[in-house]
Amino acid sequence: MRLSPYAAAIAMVISASAQASGTFIPLETQFGQAIKFSQNGKYLSISINGGGSARWNSETGVEEIVPGLGTTQGVNNAGTIAGSVPVNGGSREGGTDVPALSPVGAAMPALLPLPADTDNADVYDVSDDGSAVGLTWLSDWSISRAYYYSAAQNAIVVLPVDTPSEASRGNSISADGSIIAGWNDDPDTGFRRGVVWKDLVQIYPSVVIDGAEYNVGEASAVSGNGKWVVGSQYPNSSGTNAAWRYNVETGELTEIPGIPFAFGVSDDGKIVVGASGFWDFPARAAFIWTEEWGTQMMTDYLAARNIEVPADWGFSGGLTAVSGDGTMAAGWTIDSPNGMQSYVVTGLDSQLDRIFSNGFDGPPPVKDPSFEKTQGNAGQNPYWQSGDTNPDNPDGTVFYSYFGGHTGGWAAVLGAHQNAEPETQYFSQSVEMLSSPPAYLNYWRYVGSLPDSAGTLTVSVDGAPVQTVDFSALAAPDDDFVPQSVDISSYADGGTHVVKFEYVYPGGGSDGGTLIDDVTIDSTSFASRRASRGTVHVPAKDWLVPKRH
């Protein structure tokens, strides 16, 4: 039977929508930690924990050990890897490190000249012409300095900083060598301030809060085209950890909420990759921010695109690299079958099919599910409507948690006023439901303190209650964020419906304190989903009273 052109087109769309839009590629290098993609996405540098280097070629799929390098950092479009060669065991063993570059096919790395007054240095990144940036220690190890190696002149330049008596480092360089990112210690606080060098002239991105100017934290990566720089520790008035993005051409500085550490940015600035923390304990999680969808855990991002991950792989690590065109990301985890191991994800920029909204190939029905686009402390969010009858907070529910929500730095706070006033709080959003059942409203709840009398949370769809919980009737507060799933399959008709969370406290004592975060609508409940995310324990005593107003 021959299909009509129309029917054939529909069949092709259905077939395409059922397929994964990308691929999860486990890398083989044991104890490997992905560091950086070349701008063209052809090469990925991999540092081997304990010393050593590897290079992955995306065109051939081949991973090769790079001989001679003791440390591994950036890589350029020709596949040349930046790092250092250990002398007498290297600095880790009491020796020294010599800056070096290792081109594709080289039997041994090419050593670079050492900066003056030093016998120890490391290269952190390399441009396409072989120029490099890194860190060098004075011979007495008293201070580290950011330096630039010019391949054209075969000469070393110590990068200028505002406080040369404090430590500094060059982390990343654009493909043409004109833009460098790094840091310089603040002499007053001791923290790293982000520095952007444009044609070897230093710029310190900053933000003004309540009339005072604050530096951003360490600049970690430059896009290959030199237009964007990203880094960590954006100073905001809420006190939450966030990354930042800096437009080198315009000087515009943007907060990237929900990712405390950013390690890579695409050439168009629309994709930023990073992690929820720096240390391995508690295990940090991989995060991705896109200009369209905001901040998401990598597990959720992959699930939305039907990209399958092996069941024995977890994501306790971080995303560290993204290709210039934004199609690939790389990261590492300590939760692979072999311990620390790296991976690559392709199809990163794939667009979700907006026609088929069945939970795995449609856009997320809930916009800003973790409240990360909230501005200020008065609940002003472009996607969530909110209200609060408490006189202490007339502007709306405060989407704010000092120590962060289940993900990111924001969560909806219910209660936490600690007074005898009656109170009704709500937050709601009109969402386009899935087009067919099953459908579940999933969210994460953390009841840090029980109310003294009936404090009732009612979750409703179009005004009809679908879940009611009296927090005063709970046996004990939650020890951590607890997953909640509500069956709303009867509303899975592809239409627009209002999802509302409402908390009512009658007054007379303490109204308790609850965080709600990561509100999603999915075709599966938490009970049927593989547990693949870490949670953050936030002791109630640390966030209830002082952080709210």
Give, in words, the CATH class of 385-543.
mainly beta
pLDDT value of position 31 = 92
Query: Could you write out the DSSP letters of every residue in 115-150?
Result: PTT-SEEEEEEE-TTS-EEEEEE-TTSS-EEEEEEE
- Structure confidence at residue 457 (pLDDT): 95
Angle at 546 between CA 543 and CA 549, to 5 degrees: 110
Residue 274 scores a pLDDT above 60? yes
The H or E element that residue 340 is part of is: strand 339-346
| Average pLDDT of the residues in 3-21 | 34
Better-scored residue on pLDDT, 3 or 527: 527
Provide the pLDDT for residue 6. 25
Mean pLDDT of the region 366-379: 74
Tell me if residue 370 falls in helix, strand or coil.
Answer: coil
Name which of 161-165, 352-356, 470-474 the model is least confident about.
352-356
Q: What is the per-residue pLDDT for 239?
A: 61
Query: Which tens digit of pLDDT belongs to each residue from 434-487?
Result: 888 889 999 999 998 888 888 899 999 999 999 999 999 999 998 888 899 999
b/e per residue, 201-212, with b = 16+ CB within 10 A?
A: ebbbbebeeeee
CA distance 312 to 309: 8
Q: Tell me: the pLDDT tens digits for 64-98?
A: 999 999 999 999 999 999 999 999 888 878 888 99
- Euclidean distance between CA atoms 113 and 117, whole angstroms: 12
In angstroms, the CA 523 to CA 306 distance is 13
How large is the average pLDDT for residues 143-172? 95
Check whether 359 has a pLDDT greater than 50.
no
Q: Residue 222's CB: how many other CB atoms inside 10 A?
A: 32
Give the model's pLDDT for residue 217: 95
Q: Does the structure show a pLDDT above 70 at 535? A: no
State the Cα–Cα distance between residues 378 and 507, nearest whole angstrom: 22
- pLDDT for the residue 409: 66
Residue 215: which pLDDT band, with cuts at 50, 70 and 90?
A: very high
Q: Which of 56-70, 239-253, 317-331, 401-415 has the lowest mean pLDDT?
A: 401-415
Which amino acid makes up residue 473? A
pLDDT at residue 45 greater than cutoff 60: yes
pLDDT at 304 over 80: no
Average pLDDT of span 280-304: 77
Residue extents of the structural domains in the chain: 20-346, 385-543
| pLDDT at residue number 511 | 82
Max avg pLDDT among 167-171, 187-191, 504-508, 531-535: 167-171
State how far the Cα of 274 lies from the Cα of 463, in Å rounded to an integer: 39
CB distance 322 to 313 below 8 Å? no
pLDDT (0 to 100) of residue 546: 25
Which pLDDT does position 115 carry in this prediction?
A: 83
Name the percent of the chain lying above pLDDT 70: 83
Other C-beta atoms lying within 10 Å of the C-beta of residue 239: 14
**For the chain, what is the mean pLDDT?**
84
User: What's residue 164's pLDDT?
Assistant: 95
Confidence of residue 252 (pLDDT cuts 50, 70, 90): very high
> Which position has the higher pLDDT, 8 or 231?
231
Contact 263, 220 (CB under 8 A): yes
The most confident of 66-80, 334-348, 442-456, 500-514, by mean pLDDT: 66-80
Output the pLDDT for position 154.
Answer: 92
pLDDT at 532 over 50: no
* Cis? peptide before 282, omega within 30° of 0: yes
**Greater confidence, 9 or 130?**
130
- pLDDT of amino acid 93: 81
Share of the chain above pLDDT 90, in %: 52
Question: Binning pLDDT at 50, 70 and 90, where does residue 326 land?
Answer: very high
The pTM (predicted TM-score) of the whole model is 0.68
The neighbour count for residue 366, using CB atoms within 10 Å, is: 21
State the pLDDT confidence band at 177, using cuts at 50, 70 and 90: very high
Per-residue pLDDT for 104 more than 90?
yes
According to the model, what pLDDT value does residue 258 have? 77
For 178-187, what is each residue's pLDDT tens digit?
999 999 999 9
pLDDT at residue 250 above 80?
yes
CATH architecture of the region 20-346? 6 Propeller (2.120)
Higher-confidence residue of 256 and 545: namely: 256
Per-residue confidence band for 14, with pLDDT thresholds at 50, 70 and 90: very low
Return the minimum-mean-pLDDT range out of 96-100, 293-297, 327-331. Answer: 293-297
- Residue 117 is predicted with a pLDDT of 84
